[in-house]
């Protein structure tokens, strides 16, 4: 979208929305605790009265955890668009949401307060973990409006997501991950087959 078009839409008072989907593949047993964080955030969002607020807080935890696990990043991909209509943003978000939910092993388990984080120590970790973040943000978000299949760019992109959460500029959030259940495994061949857009970092 041209900068002239952007300026004209701002003059007429239209709101700018960025719809984005980020995918990150991680490898190694050290990523297993991240699966616990992902399941916890999903469970809390399901139980929360204000799911967007709860997911926004959880998204910060997830992105910070991903940043800490940078040495285990294997591949990444992103897609999205800038739209100027809330309904169009919602439709595109729902399209990406539906696609993400249908990906291999992306159906999470329900986590309860009785579940112990220590339980993860007794399960064989998956060889791979793919995290998918889909969101709608308000305004200009240059660090998400670029190719994130590069380590420095992905770093900036995840930090931009954290900033959006802190600034209450997220209109919609959804997080999917594969495998979504402890004990399930995602092989390298399954990653290639089910997440073909991932680009090695």
**Does the structure show a pLDDT above 70 at 163?**
yes
Q: Determine the Cα–Cα distance for residues 24 and 73; give it in Å rounded to an integer.
A: 7
Higher pLDDT, 137 or 5: 137
What is the signed CA dihedral for 3, 4, 6, 9, rounded to 10 degrees? 180
Question: Taking all residues of the chain, what is their mean pLDDT, rounded to a whole number?
Answer: 85
Domain-embedded: residue 3: no
Domain-embedded: residue 8: no
What domain range is 50 assigned to? Answer: 14-200
Residue-wise pLDDT for 61-103, tens only, equals 999 999 999 999 999 999 999 999 999 999 999 999 999 998 8
- The winner for highest mean pLDDT among 48-57, 98-107, 160-169 is 160-169
- Percent of the chain past pLDDT 70, that is, above it, reads 83
Number of domains composing the chain: 1
Domain-embedded: residue 5: no
Q: What is the structure's pLDDT at 113?
A: 45
Domain-embedded: residue 1: no
Domain-embedded: residue 196: yes
Average pLDDT over residues 114-133: 66
Cis preceding-peptide flag for 187 (omega within 30 of 0): no
Q: What is the structure's pLDDT at 52?
A: 86
Domain-embedded: residue 148: yes
Q: What is the structure's pLDDT at 125?
A: 65
Domain-embedded: residue 7: no
**Does the structure show a pLDDT above 90 at 122?**
no
Domain-embedded: residue 128: yes
Average pLDDT over residues 31-38: 89
Residue 180 makes CB contacts below 8 A (sequence gap 6+) with: 38, 39, 105, 106, 107, 108, 109
Could you please report the per-residue DSSP string of 74-87? EEEEEEEEEES-HH
Q: Determine the Cα–Cα distance for residues 20 and 144; give it in Å rounded to an integer.
A: 7
In which residue are the tokens 């998204």 written?
59
């Amino acid at each position: 979208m041209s900068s002239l078009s952007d300026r004209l839409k701002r003059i007429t008072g239209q709101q700018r929305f960025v719809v984005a989907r980020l995918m990150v593949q991680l490898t190694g047993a050290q990523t297993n605790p991240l699966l616990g964080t992902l399941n916890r955030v999903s469970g809390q969002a399901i139980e929360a009265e204000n799911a967007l607020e709860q997911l926004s807080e959880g998204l910060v935890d997830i992105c910070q955890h991903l940043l800490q696990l940078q040495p285990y990043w294997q591949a990444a991909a992103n897609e999205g668009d800038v739209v100027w209509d809330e309904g169009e943003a919602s439709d595109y978000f729902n399209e990406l949401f539906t696609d993400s939910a249908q990906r291999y092993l992306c159906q999470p388990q329900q986590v309860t307060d009785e579940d112990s984080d220590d339980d993860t120590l007794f399960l064989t970790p998956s060889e791979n973990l793919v995290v998918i973040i889909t969101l709608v943000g308000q305004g200009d978000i240059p660090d998400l409006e670029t190719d994130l299949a590069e380590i420095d760019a992905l770093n900036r992109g995840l930090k931009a997501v954290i900033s959006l959460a802190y600034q209450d500029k997220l209109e919609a959030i959804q997080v999917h991950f594969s495998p979504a259940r402890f004990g399930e495994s995602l092989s390298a061949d399954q990653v290639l087959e089910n997440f073909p857009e991932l680009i090695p970092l």
